[in-house]
Structure 1
Amino acid sequence: MMRTTRHDPSVLAPRRPAAALVAVLATGLLVAGCTGADPEPTSEASELPLPASVTASPSATASPEPSPEPSDEVAAAGPERPAAMDKKDAEGAAAAAKYILSLEQPMMVTGDTAEWEARSHRSCEYCESRLDQAKTIAKRGDVFTGGDVEVVVDKVYQRDVVTGIWPMDITGHESPTTILDASGDTVFTSEAGVAKRRAELALRDGEWVLVELGQIPEE
């Protein structure tokens, strides 16, 4: 049985530096999220089986080669909303997790935060930290390239009847990232990375939102 938890976004980064799912950048370049945490849900969740459509890996290997970076036009368009998000069950939650987290890279590239904000719960510290980062990049006139994320949903747990949250364990594969300032100088680079995280999804007015993304709690 697994507990869902809330986490400070500053503890999301694994040992290898990268952006998005894999890390939050340091002081001076990008803005970190708030440090206050919401109370922990107290209920436990049991695992549900997932359909192949949401568990399929982006590669047959454990550490796939990064996909070619999308063009500016593709990034500006953003990901296509999957039809499975119309479902109000485990499959819908899994599809929503993959879709919402795939919004992050185009948001960083274009500075368009509307869909990310629409898909973020007001208590989501991870969501707020990434929103702040996108706004900082846009304000400074920086250029964000790379950072494309492919998400594999590993496990989905039973919905928490008290909070309405669907917890799930995911693996995020992120391509290398580069940020250039307005003069063309490199202010940040990262290698490709892989991170396992606990995502929490819920329905708000009938639409899926990300409630939090953090470390997977120890059993």
Structure 2
Amino acid sequence: MSPLTSSRGPLRLVALLTALVLLAGCTGGPPSDIGAPARPTATSAPIDDGVPDAPETLTEPPSSIGAVDVATYFMEMYPHVLATGDVDEWQRLSAVDCVFCHAVVADLDALADQGHHREGGAVTVGYSVVSAGAEAGSYSVGLSMNEAPARVVDSHGEAIGDWTEPQSYVASVLLVHDGASWAIQAVEPAPADG
């Protein structure tokens, strides 16, 4: 199964921690960088061929179309982040109080701390629904997503955990444009059948 919902073997703790963080909501700040383990680099982990292209609307004034594009882009970055350790764009788009955003980085750190990385799991977005929030520039985007099969690999290239069936999710993505840039405030994924 996907670490977004549950896991087996060495990822069980990571999945449990992620679930607890998601249940807590987006009220806390990001985890401290003090003592953070080294993340895999492009040379220590396979390069994910599914790096999404940034949408043109990322640099345009806020709009419903832009909100959908940015939410889609952010979620499509998920497998790339876990495969390569490249969190620059992910963190640039993550609001300080986005629990899910920072939990993904914490999951990555936990994998890297064990010498593991993830392969596969490309995310494709199906339909989307968007509504403007009460504050100017804020939006709520509902996405349907499919995650391809993936696996977790140790430092020797051996698979230590995998899920062979595609996973389907729905996600609520809250984001805001402050007049200069977009920020993801919260992501709440759930199994599509649950």
Task: Give the counterpart of 1:115 among 65, 89, 103.
Answer: 89
List gaps (5 residues or longer) in structure 1.
1-16, 40-70
Task: Give the counterpart of 2:47 among 63, 72, 77.
Answer: 72
Q: CA RMSD in A?
A: 2.5
- How much has 1:143 moved relative to structure 2? 3.0
- How much has 1:92 moved relative to structure 2? 0.6
- Structure-1 residue corresponding to 2:25: 37
What's the TM-score once normalised by structure 2's chain length?
Answer: 0.73
Q: Provide the rounded CA distance (Å) in 1 between the counterparts of 2:186 and 2:74.
A: 11
CA contact (8 A) 1:125 1:212 kept: yes
- Structure-1 residue corresponding to 2:140: 167
CA contact (8 A) 1:94 1:153 kept: no
What's the TM-score once normalised by structure 1's chain length?
Answer: 0.65
CA contact (8 A) 2:148 2:166 kept: yes
- Structure-1 residue corresponding to 2:149: 176
Which structure features the higher share of helix residues? 2
List gaps (5 residues or longer) in structure 2.
28-45
Q: Tell me how many residue pairs correspond in the alignment.
A: 164
- Amino acid paired to 1:91: I
CA contact (8 A) 2:48 2:84 kept: no
- Amino acid paired to 1:209: A
1:28 aligns with 2:16: no
Render the CA deviation track for 1:101-139: whole Å, top value 9, x for unaligned. 111111111111111111111111111111111122223
- How much has 1:213 moved relative to structure 2? 1.3
- Amino acid paired to 1:72: I
Render the CA deviation track for 1:31-83: whole Å, top value 9, x for unaligned. 724353347xxxxxxxxxxxxxxxxxxxxxxxxxxxxxxx82635xx321111
Using a 3 Å threshold, how does the CA distance of structure 1 residues 126 and 161 change in structure 2: closer, same or farther? same
